[in-house]
Amino acid sequence: MPTHPVHLLVSCPDSKGLVSAMTGFLASHDLNVLDLDQHTDSQEDWFFARIAFDLSGSGPLPDLIELWRPIAESHDMSWRLHDTAERRRMAILVGKGDQCCRELLWRWEDGQLDCDIPLVISNHPDAAKHVERFDVPFHVLPVSAETRREQERAIRTLIQEHDVELVVLARYMQILSADFVASMPNRIINIHHSFLPAFAGSKPYHQAHARGVKVIGATCHYVTEELDAGPIIEQAVVPVNHRDTLDDLVRKGSDLERSALVSGVRLHLQDRVLVHGRRTVVFH
């Protein structure tokens, strides 16, 4: 078995011979396919694929990319390659409630998230004692209405200094600017404590309790300029009933948030998510 497979993700208009073109290219360069997932959206006539292959025995990856480009261009493909030998670097942004942050750090320490976490950033000092237990540097950058722009600039500086590729908002209850979001398209992940698109905005459990819902949920999604409207990666739900108090909903929802966020982050790190407009194709 290879020590580090390479992932190829493809999205393009559907046409005959796409799978043959991809696998034939890999075979012609003596590259062994380890895993292949594909999906065709029949309504939009759009094709999606994820291929994991073994790079050993082939030339350098940059050379392979140059050989691949003509095939991709001939099929009008959007594509990306990721050599899993290069571990992604992930920053966590957290507010006062640090349960999701701790869950991510615990899973990471346990080897369940294939990435490096060079820092955690917060606008409150509350999470320091939990983060520092994992030997991860903790940066406190307080924010107010008057300092919002400067605080975000400091966050972006830290992200750049640490070569961060993925930012995870683990109940970081601040809205990022459009410029920040645009600088990292589909590389900022948020957990929303509601089953979106229902009950967007603040206090969703209060809204759900007032409406007498029978199911509550949590939604892991990419961040876009439109609040709580980014492409959805993962969702989790649990049934509730009239006996559940507001505290019950908050407690059950907290479990869902941690589960959905970890799952969504893992799917991203494993290159299993393709974004298409406001939707995603997720190869579980």
Q: Cis omega (within 30 of 0) on the bond before 197?
A: yes
Phi, psi (rounded to 5 degrees) for 73: -65, -35
* CA gap 229, 205 in Å, rounded: 18
CA distances for 39 relative to 11, 14, 104, angstroms: 10, 10, 30
Mention every residue, 6+ apart, whose C-beta is less than 8 A from residue 80: 8, 9
Residue position matching structure tokens 């809204």: 207
**Which tokens sit at 93?**
């942004």
Nearest to 217 by CA among 194, 250, 240, 239: 194
Nearest to 256 by CA among 275, 272, 245, 240: 240
Concerning whether 248 is annotated as a catalytic residue, the answer is no
Q: Determine which one of 37, 41, 126, 228 is catalytic.
A: 228
Q: How many CB atoms lie within 10 A of CB 262?
A: 22
* CA gap 134, 144 in Å, rounded: 28
* CA gap 217, 219 in Å, rounded: 7
By the 8 A CB rule, do 239 and 215 touch?
yes
Strand order through the sheet with 6-13:
32-41, 46-54, 6-13, 78-83
The residues that are catalytic are: 228
